[in-house]
């Protein structure tokens, strides 16, 4: 007979312990969330420095509002602690939440090495009637067909009967995690119905959201996260295509998008110099891996997921397109100094994963430019360690062009006055004040501002005027030299 973990049983556990495996930017806030809702939480991480800091009441993550204060308080109250011994922690747990990152290799394949190691450690400590939840974004089928067998082989227990197993994708963003946990519905899919029931009961005990969406299986729940992320990538690619069309035809894409989005069924995103982060540039490839597994065509239709594949290529090409826009404004970039503002993948987030800054740097260097980088969230040593040449204020006069790559709040008040020889500022995130830049005699560019098309239109108009003038002069000359008729 299958055992069931209900919300009533959770409420009467005396007291219950939850384990969070992976104390990164999402894992630590989750641990705090659970501890605030009455669970004793043990956080597990392979980094001993992280474990030491948390046990001392210090958060190693500083960008999440309220997190540092909460860690200090919960550690002091004895409701939160950390360890590197995942197996020992799991032996004490009634619920285990896994949020270990999955990386992508150079061939765009999911690298499950760290997650597999964590899963084996969990399996060795897994006790009957324990709930195991994976929140890491995964390719479809990973929880049921890859991780479940690992847990079973290490523990000697059977998923769905001896322990409960479910998948529930994290749906939060760095900097707003606690808010997102309140606002966004929680998506849950279980290995079997009792596992789903156990997962729903757990999340009702730790979350403030009133809506939990139950999916038929772990595969379905994995699919949800991949398509919601891929949708954003495809939407951004479409916006970038609109921007390039606008540039070619002398149109303003931002004004057009704003007008189009006034219709409730239009939700066009913002064009930019590229897409970065752990999610949007990565998870479409997890979805594509599932498409590649289906080799046959069905009823003569084309191969699966062509649009997401093309969207990835479009978004990764935007850095090169932005550099081409600089070339159109400046001429050759060889020997020119170009400053990239922001190496982080997103504004006000101290994270470099798949940042478009790297693509910009590569495209600029291929054209012989001397590339400098600035970012208020990183020290000069960290910028250099990331492969960039840090900008020094003494170099301001040498800079000929500036590209805003990350829309940090600090850049809204950035002082462009010292850049006395800068001719062009390319606003890659639509975040700067055009009038302030142009008041300094610099040219302002944005992706989709239509300036290439308008320039061609002006050139064509000038050519036509010259042609008309030449034709008029030729007609006049012919008239003057035409012999008079004899009468």
Catalytic residue numbers?
225, 279
Residues 89, 126: Cα–Cα separation, whole Å: 9
Contact 294, 373 (CB under 8 A): no
Contact 178, 29 (CB under 8 A): yes
Two tokens, residue 5: 């973990």
Quick check: helix, strand or coil at residue 215? strand
Contact 4, 194 (CB under 8 A): yes
Residues 263, 259: Cα–Cα separation, whole Å: 8
Contact 342, 405 (CB under 8 A): yes
Q: Which residues contact 327 (CB under 8 A, 6 or more apart)?
A: 333, 367
- E-strand ranges in 363-431 read 370-374, 399-404, 424-427
Per-residue DSSP letter, 59? -
Q: Which residues pair with 446 in a beta bridge?
A: 427
Residues 414, 411: Cα–Cα separation, whole Å: 5
Residues 484, 100: Cα–Cα separation, whole Å: 95
Two tokens, residue 77: 């109250």
Whole-number Cα distances in Å, 440 to 55, 121, 423, 435 = 52, 60, 10, 9
Contact 281, 312 (CB under 8 A): yes
Q: What is the DSSP string of 281-320?
A: TTHHHHHHHHHHT--S-STTPPPTTHHHHHHHHHHHHHHH
Helix axes 67-77, 27-36, angle to 10 degrees: 50
């Amino acid at each position: 007979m299958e055992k069931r973990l209900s919300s009533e049983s959770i409420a009467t556990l005396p007291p219950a312990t939850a384990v969070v495996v992976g104390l990164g930017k999402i894992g630590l806030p989750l641990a705090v969330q659970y501890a605030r809702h009455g669970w004793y939480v043990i956080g597990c991480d392979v980094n001993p420095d992280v474990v030491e800091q948390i046990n001392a009441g210090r958060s190693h993550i500083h960008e999440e509002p309220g997190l540092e204060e909460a860690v200090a308080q919960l550690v002091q109250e004895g409701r939160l602690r950390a360890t590197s011994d995942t197996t020992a922690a799991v032996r004490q747990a009634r619920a285990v939440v896994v949020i270990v990152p999955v990386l992508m290799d150079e061939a765009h394949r999911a690298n499950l090495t760290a997650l597999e190691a964590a899963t084996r450690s969990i399996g060795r400590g897994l006790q009957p009637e324990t709930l195991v939840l994976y929140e890491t974004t995964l390719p479809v089928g990973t929880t049921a067909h890859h991780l479940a067998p690992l847990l079973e082989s290490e523990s000697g227990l059977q998923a769905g009967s001896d322990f409960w197993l479910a998948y529930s994708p994290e749906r939060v963003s760095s900097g707003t995690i606690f808010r997102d946990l309140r606002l966004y519905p929680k998506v849950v899919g279980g290995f079997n119905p009792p596992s789903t029931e156990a997962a729903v009961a757990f999340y009702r005990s730790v979350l403030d959201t009133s809506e939990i969406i139950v999916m038929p299986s772990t595969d379905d729940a994995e699919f949800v996260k991949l398509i919601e992320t891929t949708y954003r990538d495809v939407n951004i690619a479409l916006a970038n295509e609109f921007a390039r069309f606008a540039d070619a035809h002398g149109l303003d894409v931002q004004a057009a998008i704003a007008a189009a989005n006034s219709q409730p069924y239009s939700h066009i995103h913002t064009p930019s110099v590229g897409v970065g982060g752990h999610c949007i540039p990565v998870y479409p490839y997890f979805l594509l891996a599932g498409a590649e597994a289906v080799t046959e065509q069905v009823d003569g239709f084309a191969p699966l997921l062509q649009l997401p594949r093309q969207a990835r290529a479009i978004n990764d090409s935007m850095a090169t397109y932005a550099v081409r826009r600089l070339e159109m404004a400046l001429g050759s970039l060889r020997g020119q100094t170009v400053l990239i503002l922001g190496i982080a993948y997103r504004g006000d987030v101290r994270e470099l994963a798949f940042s478009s800054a790297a693509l910009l740097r590569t495209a600029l260097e291929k054209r012989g430019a001397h590339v400098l980088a600035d970012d208020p969230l990183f020290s000069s040593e960290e910028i250099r360690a990331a492969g960039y040449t840090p900008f020094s204020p003494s170099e301001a006069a040498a800079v000929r062009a500036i590209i805003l790559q990350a829309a940090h709040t600090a850049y809204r008040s950035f002082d462009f006055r010292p850049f006395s020889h800068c001719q062009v500022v390319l606003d890659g995130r639509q975040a700067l004040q055009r009038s302030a830049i142009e008041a300094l005699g610099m040219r302002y560019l944005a992706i989709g501002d239509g300036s290439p098309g308008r320039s061609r239109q002006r050139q064509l108009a000038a050519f036509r005027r010259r042609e008309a003038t030449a034709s008029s002069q030729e007609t006049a000359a012919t008239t003057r030299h035409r012999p008079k008729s004899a009468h």
